[in-house]
Amino acid sequence: MRSRRQLNSPLVAAMVAGLVAALAACSGKSNATEEAREEVVEGSTSRPGALAVQDLRFPLDDYEPTAQEQQTLDEAQGVLLKECMARLGFHYTPPKPSPVADDKKHSRVFGLLDLNVASKYGYGPQKESEENSSGEVRPARTEAERTALVGAPDLSLGDLPASQEEAERKRGGPMINGRAAPVGGCTRESFLKLYAPRPGTVDIMFTFSLKREAESRSVSDGRGVKVDGRWSACMKDAGFSVRNPRNPMKDLGISQEDSSGPEAVRVAVADVKCKERVDFAGIHYSIQSEYQRALIRDNRKTLESAGRQLRDRIELAATVLKKGQ
């Protein structure tokens, strides 16, 4: 079954991830914390007091593009999209991709961990620079332009081709300015040319799904449950009755609108300090990495294919960008 994320776009720079700031050594750590470290599997990469965002790398990261590679892929898809729209008679400028640094790739996979961010923004979004907003007003698209971009409005998932080869055989899109539009529009075509040129391509969400499986196993693992309980006890000592270390706002009834308010900031600061005290990120990182290594062993052939296809995709993207200059 094809993922809906595979409909028209590449991996969203936002896949889920964990913003991991430096975990400073905390004085007066309890014996329970020391015992927790001993419970983590042998060969653990947990380094209490030293695990920093730039050091955080999971085993499955080897099968996904780096931030720079993803930027190249996004820009190449934009070139392919623009070329397709021009073929159908439209001058179209794709939105500029937003770069995501490698040290932000795992943004908040363990919930909030950065004390500086917590004290400034609580659980709310960090304020973006004014330079990131162009202020450009895009005119409304005509129905023909919209169809050229994303396909006919009555398309179902089953109507969409799974590869560019299949799309070229179908050629069933609507006629626009005397030319047949791709099924699923130019957005679909640009995606397929880059991510699924031939049948049998590994779903680009495959590695992501393995990561989510490892994360789910980590959360339900007894060692993970134990450290979650120690975090919850620490929060209770700080005056907050919460059980979910990844989203304390929900337990406390703090709305998204108030996620940067004074109360949210107070909770966020206590949250980060308690995570440091019980080595929350270090332990969950070790457990999650353990499960990822097991999933790599179980899915080695598919992952090896995914890795080869990623290398081919990046080479193709570089060629597309060079031609588009």
Read off the pLDDT of residues 105-153 as tens digits, 9 standing for 90 and up: 676 788 888 889 899 999 998 765 434 444 455 667 899 999 999 998 8
253, part of any domain: yes
Closest to 145 in 3D by CA, of 210, 91, 218: 91
Query: Residue 74's domain spans which residues?
Result: 4-23+49-126+204-324
- The Cβ-side half-sphere exposure at 193, using a 13 Å CA radius, reads 23
Confidence (pLDDT) at 16: 33
38, part of any domain: no
Confidence (pLDDT) at 294: 98
142, part of any domain: no
161, part of any domain: no
Instruction: Report how far residue 242's alpha carbon sits from residue 223's, in angstroms, rounded to the nearest whole number.
Output: 19
Residue where the block lists tokens 């927790």: 36
Instruction: Report how far residue 253's alpha carbon sits from residue 271's, in angstroms, rounded to the nearest whole number.
Output: 15
Please state the domain count of the chain: 1
Read off the pLDDT of residues 52-88 as tens digits, 9 standing for 90 and up: 555 678 999 999 999 899 999 999 999 999 999 999 9
Confidence (pLDDT) at 263: 96
141, part of any domain: no
Q: Find the helix or strand (DSSP H, E) in which 175 lies.
A: strand 175-176
Contact yes or no for 112/118 (Cβ under 8 A): yes
Q: Which residues contact 312 (CB under 8 A, 6 or more apart)?
A: none
Instruction: Report how far residue 57's alpha carbon sits from residue 103's, in angstroms, rounded to the nearest whole number.
Output: 9
Please state the pTM of the whole predicted model. Answer: 0.74
176, part of any domain: no
For residue 5 the two structure tokens come to 């994320």
29, part of any domain: no
| Distance set, CA 26 to CA 19, 47, 119, 287 (Å) | 19, 13, 18, 22
Radius of gyration for the chain, computed over Cα atoms and rounded to the nearest angstrom: 23
75, part of any domain: yes
